[in-house]
Structure 1
Amino acid sequence: MDHSLSEASGDSPPLSADVSPDRTATIMLAMLPKIGPRTLVALLDHFGSAQAVLAAPGPALAQVPGVGPKLIHTIRTAHHHVDLEGLLKWCDENDSEILVQGTSQYPARLNDLPDAPPMLFVRGDITTDDQLAVAIVGTRHATHYGLKQAERFGYALAKAGVTVVSGLARGIDAAAHNGALNAGGRTLAVLGSGLGQIYPSEHEGLAKAVAADGAVVSEYAPDAKPRGGMFPQRNRLIAGLSLATLVVEAPDRSGALITARMAGEQGREVLALPGNVTSRASRGCNQLIRDGATLVQTVDDILESLGPMRESVTTSDGHQVRNASELKLNEIERTVLEAIDAESTPIDQVIARSGQATHRVIATISVLEMRRLVRRLSGQYVSRI
């Protein structure tokens, strides 16, 4: 029998014509109470789609680990628990949108997570440029040194064309966002609450500025108030959206260390700014360095640590970036690099393609070689790394 969403969950409220059944089902399922990310993933893996989950009979739902009688009842009566029409109306009235996993708008990097949220609420825009992103995190109780460094790195990364990701919290997070905004760059803020419950409330102005030059992101319903357990959960998204996570200041018990651990588990780079050995605020950073995190002093350290990327990224200015260090190149260096293939390329061909003088190309190749972007194969041949 062909079960529709309404058959599975009663008479659903009318929806806009541009809301597809698959998207409708995913939103409804994700908004049900007592369903965490891992249970959602398990349900979707088992049934293949949100529509199939909502249409499934109780015995079939019971076969999924973690799904008991109460949750089965919730799924079978989904429309009683989710005001879908009201949710969509709120998003429309508050310049927000819902990004569903599996669509082109959903951040590709989050697909690497085993418990990626099936949907995100977003105010602002997530673009292809945001694939080049670095998280900056740290303590809410930052020192003057920590605040200045977070702002400095946020500014320098944004100037280099890297999106700065953080959590809109007091202290290091806010300084990092402000640094990126002051540079005229992009920044993403991931919330541990809903978009309608900005926390802390004094950062509503900052959230508005972030949305204008990036995006404010949450996996929670707009009216979800912040609770302690929501912040560690959102930290996986901060790490997941980023190629690397930089911890600027963190005591030995800090949420920033959770983000760093999650970044490591996700196979992302973990970076730390060293601090005074007598400063409680730097204990976590110094421990990370002791345990193998990359010590960072300048933005060049960050870009070098990222190295070659799994997939090249096309930036908004049309350049193909394969290595984050390319972001620091000047126009001539970029022109020469783009004239070099991944395979063996004759230097004479590089000169012809780039349109630069011979002596300038030779000198530039030496610079690119020192930056580990190209390698000489012989006196007359070169290739990209």
Structure 2
Amino acid sequence: MNQERLSQLALNFIPGLGSYSIKQLVSYAGSAHQVFKLPKAKLLKIPGIGKVIADSILNNQPFSRAEEELKRSEAAGVQILLHTDQEYPKRLRQINDAPSLLYYKGKANLNTSKVVSIVGTRNATSYGKEVTDDLVKELAKHQVLVVSGLAYGIDIQAHKSSLKYKVPTIGVMASGINIIYPAIHKETAFKMQDEGGLLTEHALDTKPDPHKFPARNRIIAGMSDATIIIEAAKKGGALITADIANSYNKDVFAIPGKVTDPFSEGCNNLIKQNKAHLLTNLADLEYIMNWEEKDALTEESHITLEDFTQEEQIIISELNKESNAILIDNLSWRTNISINRLSSLLLNLEFQGIIKSLPGKRYQVTKSVY
């Protein structure tokens, strides 16, 4: 790993620094490597950086931990995906609170043309398991990637059915990638790595503490085109995932159930409140996602403006008009976007590798987007 990548990894071992703060630091300094070269006085001027974090940046401990983590990851066959890497899930990269790095062990393409997450109650009924199995069987013809959380109930059924029908499947974990939770799912998790994989934002040996599960759900929702809820009680993790997916403007689907069934109450409420599309068969999903008009074998080969938000499209279109870099002040005037908001959007596009920042707060497109 080169110095820049090692520096990016080291930033993740500084207590108190979250993914968003890390991206802001890198943008301010120009690179992760430069962050560690900033004097303390300059670090303290950066919003959100206090004395404790500044001191942590300036000692060697983050690098020592990063080097050790790298060695252990390589020995375990674990790939570290930085936010700027091409292999990093591109759908997730567009989310503001996307992890700055991911640990991945598997063989599936995280950027395949169709990605669907399937989640639900941990207390799955025979009906829920049967519906999950039938849905995955039908999804196989679209060569989808199925994402779930490796939990009891609907999640593990989605993984097992994917293995059964040879559909690549990813288990997103709330722990270090070397700690399978629940342990009873170890055998399934190992099998998944042959065609699918395991994914987490947490360092090796991280325990699956309760507060990590809701955060895990944002990855499940963020890296998928659509989230399908199959059985959910009135409250629970599946509904959190649905809410997150809706906040990301992702399509959410729910399987209806009996009005007297407590494990269908969550799904029925999502449909009733217009927070999810009614899903009774694969045709419903194909229609909403416009899959019936697309070749199920075709992979995305290029980046289009449709892959970005409306504001990002405006920025990219303006930058595309010029062969030279544009000053942020001029770009703000031309796009009618405030400097503060524009800075945040430019940072996100920079981390996606779409644009690059130049001295003097100038920006230029680096990838063709049409």
What range is the shorter-chain TM-score in?
Answer: 0.7 to 0.9
Q: Does 2:51 align with 1:69?
A: yes
TM-score (normalizing by structure 2): 0.76
Q: Which residue, 242, 248, 253 being the options, matches 2:224?
A: 242
The list of structure 1 runs, each at least 4 consecutive aligned residues, that deviate by more than 3 angstroms after superposition, is: 312-315, 317-322
**SS state of the match for residue 225, structure 1?**
coil
Tell me which amino acid in the other structure corresponds to 1:62.
L
Provide the C-alpha distance between the structure 1 equivalents of 2:124 and 2:195, rounded to a whole number of angstroms: 25
Offset at residue 82 of structure 1 (A):
4.6
Question: RMSD in angstroms over aligned alpha carbons?
Answer: 2.4
Q: In structure 2, what residue type is equivalent to 1:167? A: G
What residue is the counterpart of 1:108 in the other structure?
Answer: 90
Native 8 Å contact 1:158 1:164 kept in 2: no
Aligned match for 1:294, one of 259, 277, 280: 277
**One-letter amino acid of the structure 1 residue matched with residue 34 of structure 2:** A
Q: Aligned residue for 1:54?
A: 36
Which one is further off, 75-84 or 275-284? Answer: 75-84
Deviations 1:65-118 (A, max 9, x none): 332222222222252575223212211221211111212121111111102112
Structure 2 distance, partners of 1:200, 1:123, is 18
Residue by residue over 1:290-317, the C-alpha shift from the partner in whole angstroms, topping out at 9 and shown as x without a partner, is: 11110001122112211279xx9998x6
Stretches of structure 2 that go unaligned for 5 or more consecutive residues are 303-370
Give ranges in structure 1 of 5+ residues lacking alignment: 1-18, 323-385
Change (3 A) 1:93 1:204: same
- Give identity over the alignment, percent: 35
User: What residue identity is the alignment partner of 1:105?
Assistant: E
Aligned residue pair count: 301
User: Does 2:186 correspond to 1:204?
Assistant: yes
Deviation of 1:122 (Å): 0.5
Q: Distance in 2 between matches of 1:102 and 1:313?
A: 29
Name the stretch that deviates more: 248-257 or 39-48.
39-48
Asked which structure has the greater CA Rg, the reply is: 1
User: How many Å separate the matches in 1 of 2:295 and 2:14?
Assistant: 37
1: CA distance between counterparts of 2:144 and 2:161?
12
Match in the other structure for 2:2: 20
Deviation of 1:60 after TM superposition, in Å, equals: 2.3
Residue 195 (1) aligns with residue 167 (2): no
Residue type of the alignment partner of 1:233? A
The structure 1 residue matched to 2:289, chosen from 276, 287, 306, is 306
Higher relative contact order (CA 8 A, sep 6+): 2
What's the secondary structure of 1:104's corresponding residue?
A: coil
Larger mean CA deviation between 184-193 and 128-137 belongs to: 128-137
State whether residues 136 and 154 of structure 1, in contact with CA within 8 Å, keep that contact through their aligned partners in structure 2. Answer: no
Write the mapping of 1:1-385 to structure 2, written as runs, cut at 5 A: 19-79=1-61, 82-127=64-109, 130-292=112-274, 293-307=276-290
When residues 77 and 151 of structure 1 are mapped into structure 2, their CA distance, relative to the original with a 3 A threshold, is: farther
